[in-house]
Amino acid sequence: MEMEDNVESQKRRGASKEDLISEQTGALGCIGWFIVILSGFFTMCLFPITIWFCLKIVQEYERAVIFRLGRITDRKAKGPGIFFVLPCTDSFVKVDLRTVSFDIPPQEILTKDSVTVMVDGVVYFRVSDPIASVANVCNADSSTRLLAQTTLRNVLGTRNLAELLSDRDSIAHNMQFSLDEATDNWGIKVERVEIKDLRYLQTLSTIAAEKNSTIIFPLPMDMISHFMRK
């Protein structure tokens, strides 16, 4: 528990000033509280009809981020199980916490030693902070997929071909670290990155060029004429 608290505190210290999660989450103001009290009053008057609109359920692998009059009600997401919302004033977004995998489309990459290769991979990630994944990024899943493509090109572009062939696991680990650090403010935890296929696009063309090439050695005319007399 202490380790988790330390990690959480580091995340909060490292959060940028532009994060959309306010430190005063839940402060509705006088008008906001008046509307909430009015909504609660009508909910009690129309009980038990309104109970079907107030009770919501999320699964074990889900969490609910509740918005009250456009503001997040709590720093902690609700669930799993049953939770209560006020009609007209509350809305919520379900967030799936299960690990998701996706394939990185083949990327044409120019290595450090000017060799063109085609590389693809697979990324495994999950939502670690439901509130940040909703409030800090428009679409966490799509943004992570796009960022994985650019991270793959950036990381592999700093290596030469020999390193790509021999240090594939190390490169995948570096990519996982970079991607996890970049998506931390989005509430995303990148668990694993794998490089699947690496194709050397210049292999066939280089072999064909070597077979068809003609090597010419310059020789002095005196030497050539000497061999022709013999």
Give the pLDDT mean for 22-37: 70
pLDDT value at residue 221:
56
Q: How many CB atoms lie within 10 A of CB 140?
A: 22
**How far is residue 114's CA from residue 126's CA, in Å, rounded to a whole number?**
35
Give residue-wise pLDDT tens across range 104-129.
999 888 888 888 888 989 999 999 99
Higher pLDDT among residues 57 and 204, named by residue:
57
> pLDDT band for position 162 (50/70/90)?
confident
Least confident of 11-25, 67-81, 82-96, 162-176: 11-25
Give residue-wise pLDDT tens across range 46-75.
888 888 888 899 999 999 999 988 888 877
pLDDT value at residue 6:
46
Q: In which residue ranges of the chain is CATH 3.30.479.30 found? A: 100-206
pLDDT value at residue 124:
96
> pLDDT band for position 209 (50/70/90)?
low
State yes or no: pLDDT of 206 exceeds 50. yes
pLDDT value at residue 202:
59
pLDDT value at residue 5:
47
pLDDT value at residue 205:
54
Give the pLDDT mean for 194-213: 63
CB 64 within 8 A of CB 79: yes
> CB-based contacts of 148: which residues, under 8 Å, 6+ apart?
102, 104, 121, 123, 179, 193
**How far is residue 154's CA from residue 25's CA, in Å, rounded to a whole number?**
37
Percent of the chain residues past pLDDT 90, beyond the cut: 35
For the domain spanning 100-206, the CATH number is 3.30.479.30
Give the pLDDT mean for 143-167: 89
